[in-house]
Amino acid sequence: MEKIYKTMRNTGAACIAVGIVVASVGLAAGIVAIVSGAALLKRKTEITF
């Protein structure tokens, strides 16, 4: 039984770590998307076809 509890503890810790990494990457990607979108909107008057 102790082996099961150790496995569950390690799995829980790994899930928390993965969740933090995914949240950080998602936040960074969102910030980059907002900044690049704002730059495009700001410079839209300079585009000529």
Taking Cα atoms as reference points, which of 44, 25, 48, 26 lies closest to residue 36? 44
pLDDT(11) > 90: yes
Percent of the chain with pLDDT over 90: 82
What DSSP string describes 1-49? Answer: -HHHHHHHHHHHHHHHHHHHHHHHHHHHHHHHHHHHHHHHHHTGGG---
pLDDT(48) > 80: no
Tokens of 8: 């569950």
DSSP state of 45: G
Residue 47 has what pLDDT?
79
Residue 7 has what pLDDT?
94
pTM of the shown model: 0.69
Residue 5 has what pLDDT?
93
pLDDT(18) > 80: yes
